[in-house]
């Protein structure tokens, strides 16, 4: 499929933009972007940057008019969820949601389903094409300071008014942590998570949990890992007392090294882990804490 030009549609989050830009460059060097922002300059390496200082829901007509000039439209995040399907309908374009891998040479787009038990492959047969990427599944294209672009503004009409916008402080950023100590149903209590928190502090990491631990009230939802929680990209993940439900395994898909501690030799988590330790979680955690205290003097 001959893709001559690509349009990125995104908010101004640098990680999302860089991820979209990495994928776009695989298809063409002729790349523009429409970005929902209030900034006058955007740091991204492409041709032109158009800005909309308004809600995505108010922008469909303007997007449709501009996107009609492009073969491939790439989007993700909240912007993608708002405009992806509607824009594809307006353009009479093919649309694929939730893409988490691409075979670029074959022009095949992959999507995981049913808790990552199934991988679905799509091969579009025509252009234009709208692709909505899953976040944190692709590399990021580096942006240097000299790549700053002055935003060319697009005016859109208000059809929906923003009544209130409240910024909620995110206290736990599991998706950015490089070291995570996770606990599951096997931990058994809030007190057990205090031990894991001590271990995480000693190792300079952060505590995470499975859904079962959250449902039991041992730890708050902001620590949950998985499809309904955070997607990890950690270098190292300790999984204490976690059996390995499919929704949890999908959340640690991008972890470089998993160490699983469980008394059940048949626990599904062992199929994902690099190191499998069949042991009582508390005994192992306390022994590791003791070793760290000795090592630190």
Question: Is the pTM higher than 0.75?
Answer: no
> What DSSP letter does each residue of 159-223 carry, written as one string?
SS------PPP----GGG-SEEEEE-GGG-SHHHHHHHHHHHHHTT-EEEE-HHHHHTTSS-GGG
pLDDT of residue 116: 66
Q: What is the pLDDT of residue 115?
A: 62
> Which among 60, 61, 81 is positioned nearest to 16, based on CA atoms?
81
Domains and CATH numbers, the chain: 6-153 (3.40.50.620), 174-295 (3.40.50.1220)
pLDDT tens per residue, range 168-183: 566 678 988 999 999 9
Window from 16-20, 26-30, 63-67, 163-167 with minimum mean pLDDT: 163-167
């Amino acid at each position: 499929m001959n893709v001559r030009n690509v349009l990125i549609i995104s908010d101004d989050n640098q990680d999302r933009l860089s991820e979209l830009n990495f994928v776009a460059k695989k298809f063409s060097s002729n790349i523009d972007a429409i970005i929902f922002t209030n900034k006058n300059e955007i740091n991204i390496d492409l041709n032109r940057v158009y800005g909309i200082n308004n809600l995505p829901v108010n922008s469909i007509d303007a997007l449709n008019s501009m996107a009609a000039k492009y073969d491939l439209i790439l989007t993700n995040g909240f912007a993608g969820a708002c405009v992806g399907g509607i824009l594809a309908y307006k353009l009479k374009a093919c649309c694929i949601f939730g893409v988490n891998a691409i075979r670029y040479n074959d022009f095949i787009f992959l999507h995981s389903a049913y808790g990552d038990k199934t991988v679905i492959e799509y091969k579009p047969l025509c252009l234009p094409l709208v692709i909505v990427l899953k976040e944190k599944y692709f590399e990021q294209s580096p942006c240097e300071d000299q790549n700053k672009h002055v935003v060319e503004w697009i005016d859109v009409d208000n059809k929906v008014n923003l009544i209130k916008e409240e910024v909620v402080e995110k206290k736990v950023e599991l998706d950015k942590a490089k070291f995570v100590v996770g606990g599951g149903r096997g931990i058994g209590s809030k007190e057990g998570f205090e031990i894991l928190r001590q271990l995480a502090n000693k190792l300079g990491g952060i505590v995470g949990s499975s859904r079962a631990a959250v449902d039991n009230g041992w730890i708050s939802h902001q620590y949950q890992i998985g499809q309904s929680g955070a997607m990890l990209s950690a270098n190292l993940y300790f999984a204490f007392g976690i059996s390995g439900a499919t929704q949890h395994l999908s959340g640690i898909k991008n972890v470089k090294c998993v160490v699983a501690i469980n008394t059940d030799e048949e626990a599904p988590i062992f199929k994902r882990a690099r190191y499998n330790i069949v042991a009582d979680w508390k005994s192992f955690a306390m022994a590791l804490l003791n070793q760290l205290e000795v090592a630190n003097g």
